[in-house]
Amino acid sequence: MSKTVNLEILRDGPIARVRMTNPEKHNAFDDGLIVALTEAFDSLDKDEAIRAVVLEAEGKSFSAGADLNWMKRVAGYSFDENVTDARALARMLKVLNFLSKPVIARVQGAAFGGGVGLVACCDIAIGTERASFSLSEVKLGIIPAAISPYVVDAIGARAARRYFQTGERFDAATALRLGLLHEVVPEAKLDSAVDAVLNAILGVGPIAAAEAKDLVFAVDRPVTDTIIEDTVQRIARLRATDEAQEGMTAFLEKRRASWNKAK
């Protein structure tokens, strides 16, 4: 396992920034960084003081995917070792995808391979006009297996059938059209765009935000009576919480809710 982990966790009040800090290698990740990211996301998920997470990177690239030295090591692994290694990546992506707080991807540059997976796992993705993407695994004779559930969910099966098989590079405008990015801005406005979303998040109930995210996962399937009843149970349960009572009372009294920290 890699002993050098290029990762910083920065806390600013209720906001946490998980920053990849290896610009010389375009923030490519290896087994060591995968473990560090998993631990960071696990820790932030349990931290009640944190209301939103930003995933970002230093330098010109967001993430080039797998590190070359890691790939050389993996090439010599046995089948069982490859399974163990792949499971670690799959777990990191799962923890990120299902984090119980809003996660924003700040995509300032290129995201290739697993880097696309990181973006797809975030709830909100904002990129610059020079951001670019490639599901480049097939160019190496492999496939984007671990990231595939999240990328297909983000861009749809039709687009995935093209870009999974061709490894083509596509630009920020295409990523926006496909749904991988929610917003594309000039580089000079990236931070202000991210801050605007963070401010919106600080204006909502933190429990409600987590429950709303889980609701999407629960209902993103064919509608059945079971799903309808589940939505009934969810809203009934949420209405009885202190957070909801405060929110509704504040609305009726034309004041801010105590948990509303938006500027």
| pLDDT at site 68 | 83
* pLDDT value of position 6: 87
Instruction: Report the pLDDT value the prediction gives residue 35, as an integer from 0 to 100.
Output: 95
Residue among 196, 175, 14 nearest 109 (CA): 175
Long-range contacts of 89-92 (CB under 8 A, 24+ apart): 89/34, 89/114, 89/146, 90/146, 91/38, 92/34, 92/35, 92/37, 92/38, 92/41
So what's the pLDDT on residue 87?
94
pLDDT of residue 66: 86
Residue 94 and residue 217 in contact, taking contact as beta carbons nearer than 8 Å? no
Q: pTM higher than 0.75 for the full model?
A: yes
Contact call for residues 39 and 90 (beta carbons, < 8 A): no
How high is the pLDDT of residue 60?
96
Strand pairing partners for 96? none
Closest by Cα among 72, 102, 79, 86 to 148: 86
pLDDT at position 84 is: 92
Residues of the chain short of pLDDT 50, as ranges, are none
* DSSP tally for the chain: helices H, then strands E: 10, 10
pLDDT for res 188: 97
Amino acid at 193: A
Looking at residue 214, its pLDDT comes to: 97
